[in-house]
Every structure is written in structure tokens, then in C-alpha cells.
Amino acid sequence: MIAFAIGAAFALAVAFAAYRAHALDRGGAIAAFAVGTLTFGIGGWQATLVLFAFFVPSTLLSRLGRVRKRALTDIGKGGARDAWQVFANGGVAALALLFARVHDAAAFAAFAGAFAAASADTWGTEIGTLARGTPRSILTLRRLATGLSGGITLRGSLATLGGAACVALVAGAVHLASSLPIFIAGVVGAFADSFLGASAQALRYCPACARDCETDPHVCGTPTVLRRGMSWLGNDAVNLAATLAGAAIGVLLA
């Protein structure tokens, strides 16, 4: 109980700071508090450092090129992260810890693999959207509008490797899980995100603006029509699937 009390106080401070910095909205701060409390309460400082290896760089990268990113009006989400985004990125990792026992290698590998996938995907997105040139679909190699799911660039792909490595190296340094399996899990999870984004995720079309988008209605207020994918499968669900993939690969390789 003492560990959970310390974790709750620590998570509250971090979530409040992120809320004041507009990195999280109110719901996102509450969700981050829950994930942070579970992480410290069950996984201790080692798991908390792995969480920070995802959260801190991802938050800083989200602030790069904010003017250009705000102009990407066709994507599903932007601005401060809400509760769904927090749980999509950290929910699988927190759930893995709920099943952990003392020195449970599989649960900790799932935890680290999930955050490695979230980190890899976030780095790839935040840096890839700032890359010069037009992204291409990971499936068809057709050109896509910047920011739409399923698009890849060379810079974004390299950033994906960096995001996975960041979490993997920390997980290895604190002896929570071996670095190489976690790195592989992160990369696989991130590219699974891109494949789902280019195939099953809902892609919509705004007839007024004559352009693809991921929102309904479009930012212009016009109702959009489904062009491809499943209407219920949005960006948060795809992110959740990516972290599930990262957790599964982490366990298999561990």
C-alpha cells in the first residue's frame, strides 16, 4: 500500500504538470494519473522509468513544429491528449502489470513492449509529419496527404526506430526486460499501426473540400462519407492494437 500511495502522489504531480503545460486535457490527466499510479505501485521505479522513456520524449516531440501540425486539419486528433489517447498508448502496459507477479518476466516484457510500440509510433508520427516531401502509403506506395494514417516517410521511419530504441534501452538498463526483444517489439508494433492505418482504419471523404480526412464531420463542418476501412476503427483503436502487438511480441521474444 505504501508503494501505491507514493505512486499516486508522484503520478498526480506529473499529470498535473502535464495538464498545466497543455500536454494533456482534464480527462487525459486523470487517465495518466491512473496509469502512473499502477505503474509505480506495481512495477516500482524501474517500470516508472520505462514509462518516462515513452512519455517525456513524446511530449517534447509533440511541441516541435506546432504551427505546421495545427494546420493538419484532416487528421483525427490533435492538441492536448485526451483520456482515450492516454489509455490507447498506456492501457495495455498498465493491464500487463496487473497480471505481474514478483519478477514476472513475461508481464514486464509485455509492459515494456507495449510502451516501445507506443513510443516508436509517436516518434514516427511527430517527426514524420515535419518531413519534407509527400508521405506514401505503406501498402500501396501512393502519395498521401501529410498526417493521414498509413503514410510513411524516410525520416519518420528512422524516428520510429529511435522511439523503440529509447524505451528498449531504458528497459534494459533498469533490468526490467532485455533491450533487443523490446526494440523489435516496438518496431513491429509501430509498423502494425501503419498497416492498420492504411487498410482497416476509417478513411473518410469531404465532398465540400474534395479531400480525404479522418473526421466526421470535417473541420469545415461538412458530413463526410466513408471511403475505406471500418467506420468504428479510428486512430485510438489502431494505437491500442499497436501496443497489443508490441506487448505480444515482447512476451514471445522474452
Tens-digit pLDDT profile for residues 136-170: 999 999 998 888 889 999 999 999 999 999 999 99
Q: What residue numbers bound the domain in which 158 lies?
A: 52-253
15-42 pLDDT, tens digit each: 989 999 888 999 999 999 999 999 999 9
- The total number of structural domains that make up the chain: 1
Q: What percent of the chain has a predicted confidence (pLDDT) above 70?
A: 94
Inside any domain, residue 212: yes
pLDDT average, residue stretch 65-92: 78
Q: Give the whole-angstrom CA distance, residue 105 versus residue 178.
A: 10
Inside any domain, residue 29: no
Inside any domain, residue 137: yes
Alpha helices in the chain (DSSP H): 2-20, 26-62, 66-70, 83-98, 105-128, 154-173, 179-197, 235-253
Residue 101 has pLDDT above 70, yes or no: no
Cell reading at 121: 509510433
Inside any domain, residue 6: no
Inside any domain, residue 21: no
Q: SS3 of 227, please?
A: strand
Residue-level pLDDT at 102: 59
Inside any domain, residue 219: yes
Q: Give the whole-angstrom CA distance, residue 195 versus residue 66.
A: 26
pLDDT band at 112 (very low <50, low <70, confident <90, very high): very high
Inside any domain, residue 113: yes
Inside any domain, residue 11: no
pLDDT band at 73 (very low <50, low <70, confident <90, very high): low
